[in-house]
Amino acid sequence: MSDACGCGDDEPRTNDEDQDHEPERLWEVRELRFAAISGVLLLAALIAGWVDATRPVILTLEAVALVVGAYTFVPSTLRRLAKGKIGVGTLMTIAAVGAVILGEVGEAAMLAFLFSISEGLEEYSLARTRRGLRALLSLVPDEATVLRDGAETVVAPTELRAGDQMLVKPGERLATDGIIRRGRTALDVSAITGESVPVEAGPGDEVFAGSINGTGSLEVEVTTTAEDNSLARIVRIVEAEQSRKGTSQRLADRIAQPLVPGIMIAATLIAVIGSLLGDPTIWIERALVVLVAASPCALAISVPVTVVAAIGAASRLGALVKGGAALEALGAVRGVALDKTGTLTANRPGVIDVATTNGATREQVLDLAAALETRSEHPLAAAILAATNQVTPATDVQAVTGAGLTGHRDGHTIRLGRPGWLDPGPLTGDVQRMQQAGATAVLVEHNDQVIGAIAVRDELRPEAAEVVAQLRRDGYHVAMLTGDNHATAAALANDVGIDAVHAELRPEDKARLVEQLRAQRPTAMVGDGVNDAPALATADLGIAMGAMGTDVAIETADVALMGEDLRHLPQTFTHARRARRIMLQNVGLSLGLIAALIPLALLGILGLAAVVLVHELAEIVVIANGVRAGRTKPLSLPVAEQAAAVPHTAAVSSAP
């Protein structure tokens, strides 16, 4: 989310211009370069004053600093005014003009310097978002293999047509959506659905662009073109929602719309009516004093100072906040939608249970399973291997696509696979229990006799229940959105204490649900994967788990939590709410000051000098108050045992 469109250069850019001019480093941002020059000139003017330089020298330095800083927003403000649009840039222009009229060129230059920094940071955050959108499309491979006229042909994904038979080898990404016609595999669909473990797929199953094929070769009938596949739809959703956010107004803009024309009309009426009823010289001068008294100097500087201080403090809390609009939204959020995989969970599946039968022990079951998994690249293999100490690998290991593994050790035949391929027999009840707990169950067979079942699940982060309990105590409505199956979602939601659960969601489903939640209350979406990008963009505020998240999620989000500890989330919310309160205090003080100064100037009680003095004092007060937003202190959260709430029963709903 950015207010760059609302207060800086609001002329929209084309996609080509975005790609040609996007800054990748802070110093490549035009506004920040101008701000740096303006700051150097202001520093030179300050030093000149210390060494008793002549007034013309100091004034020249301040004037040049003003021109350089104002160049980043005054031209665009004038273009907006020509279109009848008023924003915070208008406020800043009036403040600068008012300061110059009073002879306070240095103050005007300082305001222009601060606002240039704010504009530059917003433009940089927008550029990061646009780069993230292009990263989405990089998940599509550069080429695809199709069967045409009985021969294999390599083509670009853009040349694929509905009805083509696409060949997908093990380890390859799918170039577009389709339906499997031949072959079975374990498909990694985490990029599209967020499913924490690969899903078994075979003839008749739908598959999506960007998914990674497992061990089996597939023949897939293409159902969509590259321009309309799953990833392309994600990009369109994100682009549309980012555009919506870009046109939203920030607090200062909303205040500016009625304030600026009101001030101008009031000053004009005072000059005209006063001149008709009395001495024109007196009333024109009073109108000028009223205009200066109403110039929002304190208002213009109060929010940027608070934003700069609060964003810097947020970084020390492990949160990267992308600009003032994101900070304001962060403080206003009252609902939180949490992704499951990689957000509530660590995205590292582990063994949570082992059931045995026919005289086998837990250690024997794990040992035989690990003997086969040492030869496997299946994601579940790492979890099983991590649960064993020493492993003697099996020989003659063969993968049965979409089913499991077979092999030999010490003259014995061992098999590992999913229920259905292997008969669970006496472990049927245990397998059902494991699946109801949200785990993936695999069976181990020794010499054609089942000896055990292993449950593997992506476990919750240790602090997840603590964080959810803290959010609920702070008054947030918490919901879980996931692409995982109903059983897994319900089990983990019950463990963590979330009542509102929505499972088996595709990216567009998540975006629609977030839209519904936004209609009820300002909502933040917290996620870490490619499949979360549309929901992150649709929410009032997108929050990415930075250390664990994909580049796409981090770039699309408005806030990135840079650590792996989820406790940064309630800490960041608390910090943003405090910063927003400080913003509102400064705005209230600034508006109150204007309301008090206007009648005093109108009645001639205060002259130009007095008005200038009051404005200067007010700026000192709001700056000092804004700096408070930069103070941080460790936020104590209750331990998980204390946070454990009354048992919850998760009500699971499917995709809308």
**CA–CA separation, 73 vs 127, rounded Å?**
18
3-class DSSP assignment, residue 41: helix
Q: Are 61 and 50 in contact (CB under 8 A)?
A: no
Residue 611 phi, psi (nearest 5): -65, -45
Q: CA nearest 452: which of 336, 366, 558, 554?
A: 366
3-class DSSP assignment, residue 294: helix
The amino acid present at 272, given as its one-letter code, is V
Residue 408 phi, psi (nearest 5): -135, 150
Q: Are 332 and 654 in contact (CB under 8 A)?
A: no
Q: Are 532 and 525 in contact (CB under 8 A)?
A: yes
Tokens 């499997």: give the residue.
Answer: 180
CA 320 to the chain's CA centroid: 10
Residue 601's Cβ-count burial label (10 Å; 0-12, 13-18, 19+) is buried
3-class DSSP assignment, residue 144: strand
3-class DSSP assignment, residue 250: coil
**Which two structure tokens, joined as six digits, stand for 373?**
């998994």
3-class DSSP assignment, residue 486: helix
**CA–CA separation, 253 vs 181, rounded Å?**
56
**CA–CA separation, 424 vs 453, rounded Å?**
8
Cα 539 to Cα 333, 440, 498, 509, 628: the distances in Å are 10, 32, 19, 13, 29
Q: Choosing from 339, 484, 528, 540, which is the catalytic residue?
A: 339
Q: Are 558 and 454 in contact (CB under 8 A)?
A: no
Q: Are 582 and 251 in contact (CB under 8 A)?
A: no
The amino acid present at 64, given as its one-letter code, is V
Q: Are 171 and 216 in contact (CB under 8 A)?
A: no
CA 608 to the chain's CA centroid: 47
Q: Are 327 and 307 in contact (CB under 8 A)?
A: yes
Q: Strands 523-527 and 335-339: what pairing?
A: parallel
Residue 395 phi, psi (nearest 5): -115, 165
**Number of CB atoms found within 10 A of residue 57's CB:** 14
Q: Crossing angle for the helix pair 464-473 and 486-496, nearest 10 degrees?
A: 70
| Active-site residue flag, 540 | no
Residues 6+ apart with CB under 8 A from 579: 306, 307, 309, 310, 313, 327, 331, 629
Contacts 24+ apart (CB under 8 A), 609-612: 611/102, 611/289, 611/292, 611/293, 612/102, 612/104, 612/292
**CA–CA separation, 342 vs 189, rounded Å?**
14
Q: Could you give the residue numbers annotated as active site?
A: 339
